[in-house]
Amino acid sequence: MLKRSSDAGVVNHLLMVDEEGDLAGIKEKARLKAVEDHKKWLEAAHFLGCRTVRVNLHGEGPSDVKRKASIDSLGRLGEIAAPLNLNIVVENHGSDSSKGTWIAGIMKEVNKPNVGTLPDFGNFCISHPWGTTQETCTLEYDRYKGVEEMLPFAKGVSAKSYD
């Protein structure tokens, strides 16, 4: 893949990771396994010459407990990613992660130069598991407020329009 992208003049920049466990999960053993399961993707991103790996803060439980779990998981991933010269970014992807203020608070606590956000203009639905506002969203976070809250920590943006 590296050779093919290089031959085509493509620069690999961002690797997006899904379904590798709940980094905001409140069951510590499962959450630490999720951190461990993300390592192979950090190594793959480094090999491919990527600069950034996007992760999700999914998990069940009370918001404050998920917040603490997220801080710990991102801190661990940031430490693993630093010697690989990689950034770890969180995209707003449903539930609490679609609340800009929640993500911004986590970024302030993690406080690592290689850990940030990837605001997605179309993913501020709190009631949708992946945050999309395109489908049946019953509770939406103000996207302008969310982007404003996440931008100070952004390493990139995901812009889209459904119109």
pLDDT interval class at 78 (50, 70, 90): very high
Select from 116, 53, 71, 118 the least CA-distant residue to 92.
118
Residue 81 is predicted with a pLDDT of 98
pLDDT tens column, 79-111: 999 999 999 999 998 889 999 999 999 999 999
Domain boundaries, the chain: 2-153
Work out the average pLDDT over 1-15. Answer: 86
pLDDT over 80 at 52, yes or no: yes
Let me know if 11 is exposed, middle or buried by CB neighbors in 10 A (0-12, 13-18, 19+). Answer: exposed
Work out the average pLDDT over 61-74. Answer: 95
CATH code for the part of the protein at 2-153: 3.20.20.150
The residues, ordered by sequence, that sit 6+ positions from 8 with a Cβ below 8 Å of its Cβ are none
Higher pLDDT pick, 146 / 125: 146
CA angle 18, 120, 98 (to 5 degrees): 75
125-160 burial by CB neighbour count: b if 16+ within 10 A, else e?
Answer: bbebebbbbeeebeeebebeebbebbeebebbebee
